[in-house]
Structure 1
Amino acid sequence: MSDIAPERLAALNAGEIEAATLTECLAVDFARLMQASFPEIDQSSINEMDAAQTQGITRRMLLAARILHDQLGADASTRLIDHPSDTVRGWACFALGTRDDMVLATKLDVIRPLADDEHFGVREWAWLALRPEIAAQIDAAICYLTPWVTDPSARLRRFACESTRPRGVWCSHIKPLREDPARALRLLAPLRADPAKYVQDSVGNWLNDAAKDRPDWVRALCRDWENMSPAPETARIVKRALRNIGGA
């Protein structure tokens, strides 16, 4: 972080530019960014944000979302979607996740532009923000996300896969999918030869997650996919899926 030029860090904290790397994402001072972007936020909330600066970034994202929801109102999530700062757009994801006046299907509709955001960080925050609700309503979520896996946007196809991973990253596990990963086949099957490496990696990681609990199921599925789709894209997914348990 010390390698970030002072003027660039100042612009990040002012909400004027996007972070270019994960290091820059982690270097943003949330309290300064919030104060610069939303001067109407009261000082006590800014102080609370400042005191949390040493906490993990996901906790700080949730805190920022709560503050903005409380101070700006329930529509804060939609007000932040077009902000120039990727961090603020990430706050929009979590602010949407905290809303109790929206059902999951509506939240998924609202979050689409953030799930399809050009910035890598915003796309990660989008699925992480809705992951708890997706996990709690996994069968309904799979139904809602099924049209996403045939969307022209690789980013949306990847969201549908990544948000339902049985174990996932930086998030709680989805026990029903650990026990019975076949419940998600309607999402996975259309992606078995996806042309985008971004999506291929997610599908391979999804199956690698499942292999930790159901290795025989994953091996059998990979054999079926290789027979049904002898394409290099499928071979790449299968290799990634089986990397910890051996061949199909």
Structure 2
Amino acid sequence: MEIKAPKKGEGVPKETPARNNIAALASALSQHFPGASWQCLQAELEKNNFFAAGMLEQVRLMAQAAVELSGASRNGAALITALSQSAVEKIRGVAAFVPALLYPDDVPRQLEWLAYTGVLEGTWPRELSATALHNLIIRHGVATVLPLVQSWIEHENPARRRLVTEAFRPRGVMLAHLNELKEDPLPLKKILEPLLDDVSEYVQKSVANNLNDISKDNPDIALAWTREWNT
């Protein structure tokens, strides 16, 4: 069954033995990879203490099991496409964690797929795509990733524009911090400045979140930018 949105105060829902998306994951993939042993999916997940893991680690384990059982290392596009076509929003989100598993050292290839998963319908795929991009930045560095996604802030789809502003947040939510941006947020200016008056409130809120992160570590810089933009 699909996990419903949590009630206020419940936090982000985790997969539990009583309430999970394992059957939905198996269903989505069995249509595209009928030869795989999807009936073993839950057992494979439980070998890795799936239900005891944190929410993001659970998503990574689901993506890892999908890669291993499908044999998708030979056809990653088919796996990501299959996940992205699921009617279950969280399963569409799992697709965002697959590129890092299939192409760990191929930054352009990962970005190609995150540009795709980051605009899928629903909160799960968009937030998990931002998380995956954030992790990619941590691994390969701002100087490597930023030039490759700078043009995304001009994309017609607001979800693509927001993907950049969220992923490059120095702090983020439930994520490892981008220490190099906490120490020197200057590279963020060329991301945020063009989006200050974005037509999408969805994007504007993300810009504000990023600036709020900057203000926690570099209040003088955040204040100087704000004054500059308001003159």
- Give the distance between the partners of 1:101 and 1:56, measured in 2 at CA: 22
Q: Describe the shift of the 1:43–1:151 C-alpha distance in structure 2 as closer, same or farther (beyond 3 A).
A: same
Q: Describe the shift of the 1:77–1:145 C-alpha distance in structure 2 as closer, same or farther (beyond 3 A).
A: same
| Paired position in structure 1 for 2:109 | 106
Partner SS, residue 22 of structure 2: helix
Q: State which drifts further: 51-60 or 35-44.
A: 35-44
| Paired position in structure 2 for 1:31 | 22
| Paired position in structure 2 for 1:160 | 164
Q: Describe the shift of the 1:117–1:35 C-alpha distance in structure 2 as closer, same or farther (beyond 3 A).
A: closer
Which of 150, 154, 157 is 1:150 aligned to?
A: 154
The residue type paired with residue 120 of structure 1 is T
2:127 pairs with 1:124: yes
Q: State which drifts further: 195-204 or 97-106.
A: 97-106
For structure 2, which runs of at least 5 residues remain unmatched after alignment? Answer: 31-35
- Give the distance between the partners of 1:21 and 1:59, measured in 2 at CA: 19
- Give the distance between the partners of 1:52 and 1:108, measured in 2 at CA: 27
Task: State the 1:102 CA deviation.
Answer: 5.7
Write the deviation string for residues 182-207 of structure 1: whole angstroms up to 9, x where unpaired. Answer: 12222111112112111111111111
For structure 1, which runs of at least 5 residues remain unmatched after alignment? Answer: 1-8, 13-18, 228-248
- Give the distance between the partners of 1:100 and 1:35, measured in 2 at CA: 23
User: Residue 86 of structure 1 contacts residue 119 of structure 1 at CA under 8 Å; is this kept in 2?
Assistant: yes
Partner SS, residue 51 of structure 2: coil
| Paired position in structure 1 for 2:37 | 41
**Matched residue count:** 211
Partner SS, residue 80 of structure 1: helix
| Paired position in structure 2 for 1:95 | 98
Partner SS, residue 62 of structure 2: helix
- Give the distance between the partners of 2:27 and 2:83, measured in 1 at CA: 14
| Paired position in structure 2 for 1:246 | none
- Give the distance between the partners of 2:181 and 2:149, measured in 1 at CA: 15
Which TM-score applies when normalising by structure 2?
0.82
| Paired position in structure 2 for 1:62 | 60
RMSD (CA atoms): 2.2
- Give the distance between the partners of 2:20 and 2:5, measured in 1 at CA: 15
Q: State which drifts further: 101-110 or 111-120.
A: 101-110
- Give the distance between the partners of 1:214 and 1:183, measured in 2 at CA: 13
Task: State the 1:221 CA deviation.
Answer: 0.2
Q: Describe the shift of the 1:101–1:208 C-alpha distance in structure 2 as closer, same or farther (beyond 3 A).
A: closer
